[in-house]
C-alpha cells in the first residue's frame, strides 16, 4: 500500500524474547508514526516500520513529510507497526524549522543508530506513562515480547509461548516524564516458577542481533 504524510514520531523497532530469567533483543530498525493518507483510506494516523539502512540514508525525523509503500504486517502480535517491508521511501519536504532539538521530553532529535540504543541499554517504562507522554520520543520503545515458558524446551508451539507488549526507556535518567511502573513477571516451566525482572539493561547482550531487516 502506498502512503504519505507527516512524521509525528520515530522510535526503534526492537523485539524481545524472554525465557524465565534470560532475554534476547532483536534490533530490527525503526517505527515511523505518520499522520497522512494510506492507500485510498481517509487521513489518519498509522505506524510504518523501516529498516536501518533506510533510516541511515534518509535520516527522517519528526516534522518531515514522507512517502513510501509498505505491506500489512503478517503477525500483529510481533509488531507495533501496522505496516512493514517498506520500499520507495522518499523525503518530500524536511521540517520547516532548522530541525527539532534535544530539548524534551519528549525528545524529537534525530534517532540514533541501533548500535547506540543497544549500547545504552534500557529501563522499564510504565505503560500508562508511555501512552500519555512518550509515544513520540526517540528514546521510548514499545516492544513485542515472546515468552518461551519452558526454557529447557525452545519450541515455539502455542502451548510453550506467550506474547505481550512491554514499554521501555533508553533516555536520560533525569527525564521528568519518566515512571518505572511495576516489575515485569515472567512465568517459568512450572506454575510456581515466576521470575521478576526489573527491566534494566546495560546493553551489549551476547545474544542480541542488530540490523535484521525485512522480518
How far apart, in whole angstroms, are the C-alpha atoms of residue 13 and residue 26? Answer: 9
Whole-number pLDDT of residue 144: 98
Of 102 and 124, the structure prediction assigns the larger pLDDT to 124
Among 55-69, 101-115, 123-137, 168-182, whose mean pLDDT is lowest? Answer: 101-115
193 pLDDT more than 80? yes
Closest CA to 69 of 82, 57, 86: 86
153 pLDDT more than 80? no
Among 35-39, 103-107, 135-139, 165-169, whose mean pLDDT is lowest? Answer: 103-107
User: Which pTM was predicted?
Assistant: 0.90
What distances in angstroms separate CA 113 from CA 41, 99, 131, 153, one per listed residue?
Answer: 33, 18, 24, 34
For residue 28, give the C-alpha cell. Answer: 530490527
Of 147 and 214, the structure prediction assigns the larger pLDDT to 147
91 pLDDT more than 50? yes
> In this predicted model, what pLDDT tens digit does every residue of 16-33 receive, in sequence order?
999 989 999 999 999 999
Where exactly are the structural domains of the chain?
Answer: 2-207
Complete DSSP assignment for 2-56: EEEEEEEEEEEEEEEEEETTEEEEEEEEEEEEEEEEETTSPSEEEEEEE-HHHHH
Identify the burial level of 55 via C-beta atoms within 10 angstroms of its C-beta, where 0-12 means exposed, 13-18 middle and 19 or more buried: buried
**Average pLDDT score, the chain:** 90
For residue 25, give the C-alpha cell. Answer: 533483543
Amino acid at each position: 500500500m502506498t502512503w504519505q504524510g507527516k512524521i509525528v514520531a520515530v522510535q526503534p523497532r526492537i523485539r524481545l524474547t524472554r525465557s524465565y530469567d534470560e532475554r534476547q533483543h532483536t534490533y530490527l530498525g525503526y517505527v515511523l508514526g505518520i499522520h497522512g493518507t494510506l492507500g485510498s483510506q481517509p487521513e489518519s494516523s498509522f505506524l510504518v516500520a523501516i529498516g536501518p539502512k533506510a533510516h541511515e540514508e534518509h535520516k527522517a525525523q519528526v516534522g518531515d513529510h514522507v512517502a513510501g509503500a509498505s505491506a500489512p504486517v503478517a503477525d500483529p502480535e510481533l509488531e507495533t507497526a501496522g505496516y512493514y517491508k517498506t520500499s520507495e521511501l522518499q523525503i518530500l519536504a524536511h521540517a520547516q524549522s532548522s530541525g527539532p532539538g534535544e530539548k524534551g521530553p519528549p525528545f524529537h532529535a534525530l534517532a540514533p543508530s541501533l548500535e547506540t540504543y543497544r549500547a545504552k541499554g534500557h529501563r522499564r517504562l510504565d505503560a500508562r506513562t508511555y501512552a500519555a507522554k512518550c509515544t513520540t520520543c526517540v528514546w521510548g520503545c514499545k516492544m513485542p515480547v515472546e515468552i518461551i515458558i519452558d526454557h529447557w524446551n525452545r519450541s515455539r508451539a502455542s502451548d510453550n509461548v506467550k506474547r505481550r507488549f512491554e514499554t521501555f526507556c533508553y533516555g536520560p535518567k533525569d527525564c521528568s516524564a519518566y515512571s518505572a511502573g511495576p516489575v515485569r513477571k515472567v512465568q517459568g516451566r512450572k506454575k510456581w516458577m515466576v521470575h521478576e525482572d526489573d527491566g534494566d539493561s546495560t546493553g551489549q547482550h551476547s545474544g542480541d542481533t542488530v540490523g535484521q531487516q525485512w522480518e
